[in-house]
């Protein structure tokens, strides 16, 4: 699995969870909510689908870290707040789904 296979997830994680994300947002959830506000519904749906693909295809944390940090270039170091990439992505997916239910 590469960023080319998951272009929307790549744009979301690299574009919103960049190294300066704290200057633009107070919390990690605010990053996701800003993405929802700024993005078309179709893009949000694609990101949700791509997160689901990642969750279904990576079953070990070492591979998940290599994918998120090296392949996708996510600058958010989720291990400060979450026990694993899986738990963090499940939470991001829940925030995306929650916002979708409200619209």
**What would the pLDDT profile of 27-85 be if each residue is shown by its tens digit?**
788 888 889 989 999 999 999 999 999 999 998 999 999 999 998 888 888 999 999 99
Helix axes 28-38 and 7-16, enclosed angle (nearest 10): 120
pTM value is: 0.88
Residue 1 lies in a domain: no
The band of 21, judged by pLDDT with boundaries at 50, 70 and 90, is low
Residue 2 lies in a domain: no
The band of 91, judged by pLDDT with boundaries at 50, 70 and 90, is very high
The rounded Cα 101 to chain-centroid distance in angstroms is: 18
Q: Distance between CA 70 and CA 4 in Å, rounded?
A: 13
Q: Distance between CA 72 and CA 59 in Å, rounded?
A: 17
Domain span at residue 69 reads 7-102
In this structure, how many other beta carbons lie within 10 angstroms of the beta carbon of residue 43? Answer: 15
The total of structural domains in the chain comes to 1
């Amino acid at each position: 699995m590469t960023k080319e296979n998951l272009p929307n997830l790549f744009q979301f994680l690299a574009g919103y969870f960049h190294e300066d994300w704290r200057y633009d947002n107070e919390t990690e959830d605010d990053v996701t909510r800003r993405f929802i506000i700024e993005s078309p519904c179709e893009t949000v749906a694609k990101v949700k689908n791509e997160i689901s693909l990642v969750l279904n295809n990576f079953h070990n944390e070492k591979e998940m870290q290599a994918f998120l940090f090296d392949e996708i270039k996510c600058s958010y170091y989720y291990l400060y707040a979450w026990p694993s990439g899986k738990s963090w992505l499940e939470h991001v997916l829940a925030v995306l789904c929650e916002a979708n239910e409200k619209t």
